[in-house]
Amino acid sequence: MEKLKLEIIGLSYSQTQSGAYALVLGEAKGKRRLPIIIGSFEAQAIAIELEKMTPGRPLTHDLFKTFADSFDIKVKETIIYNLVEGIFYAKLICTKEGKEVEIDARTSDSIALAIRFKCPIYTYEFILAAAGIILEDSADKEHVEFETDESAEGEDVLEDSNDLSGLSLNKLKALLAKSISEEAYEKASTIRDEIDNRSQKP
């Protein structure tokens, strides 16, 4: 199965889950984005390394890196290999003296470590197909927004994404385009799921 490389696009406070953060990964050679909800500790661990900050005392991920270096263990890559009921599964591919070992890890931890080991992050097509958000070009966005001109509620519809069940498909598409343009990927992921659920109904 072909692996697709991902890059870290951004990290922002979650709009729907208190104390959580949305980590956004992007397809290296494509327009798709993969939003993943992570805890505050993992978000801090990722942000500190991305910003090249040095904590007063080593964090858990820094300790793991130091431990691995001391015993000549390398993390070759990390792979987000499965998605089950909204939960992402990841693993670290480690090497020592030519021997390769796979270690199961939470996705947030594996990414925090991937940054420290400067190793690539991968996933598979079926995961991006199921959970990825596609960044459309500006022409497509304008087309989607134009379709909602029939809405009597106007801009109010675009501002309220808490109750998606009462919105028409055209309104959902417009709200999706708006969320993506504002880089609100977590909200966009929820809207995309609602659109996908409706398309599967007879």
* Fold classification of 3-131 (topology level): Bifunctional nuclease domain (3.10.690)
| Percent of the chain clearing pLDDT 90 (strictly above) | 46
Domain locations along the chain:
3-131, 136-200
Give per-residue burial for 101-110: e unless 16+ CB within 10 Å, then b. eeeebebbbb
pLDDT for position 101: 97
**Which tens digits make up the pLDDT trace of 123-165?**
999 999 999 988 654 333 333 222 223 333 333 333 444 567 7
More confident residue, 43 or 113: 113
Is the pTM above the cut of 0.85?
no
SS3 115: helix
Task: Collect contacts of 35-42 with beta carbons under 8 A, ≥24 apart.
Answer: 35/131, 35/133, 35/185, 35/186, 35/188, 35/189, 36/88, 36/107, 36/108, 37/186, 38/107, 38/108, 39/108, 42/106, 42/108, 42/109, 42/112
3-state secondary structure of 177: helix
pLDDT for res 22 = 87
For residue 137, what are the contacts with CB-CB under 8 A and spacing of at least 6? none
Helix, coil or strand: residue 28: coil
**Which pLDDT belongs to residue 1?**
85
Greater pLDDT, 75 or 53: 75
Q: 148: alpha, beta or left, given left = phi > 0 and alpha = psi -120 to 50?
A: alpha
How does pLDDT run across 64-91, given as a tens digit for each residue? 999 999 999 999 999 999 999 889 999 9
**pLDDT, tens digit (0-9, with 9 covering 90-100), for 163-179:** 677 777 777 777 776 67
pLDDT digits (tens, 9 = 90+) for 4-43: 999 999 888 776 667 788 899 999 989 899 999 998 888 8
Mode of pairing for the β-strands spanning 121-124 and 32-39: unpaired
Beta strands 121-124 and 74-84, pairing class: parallel
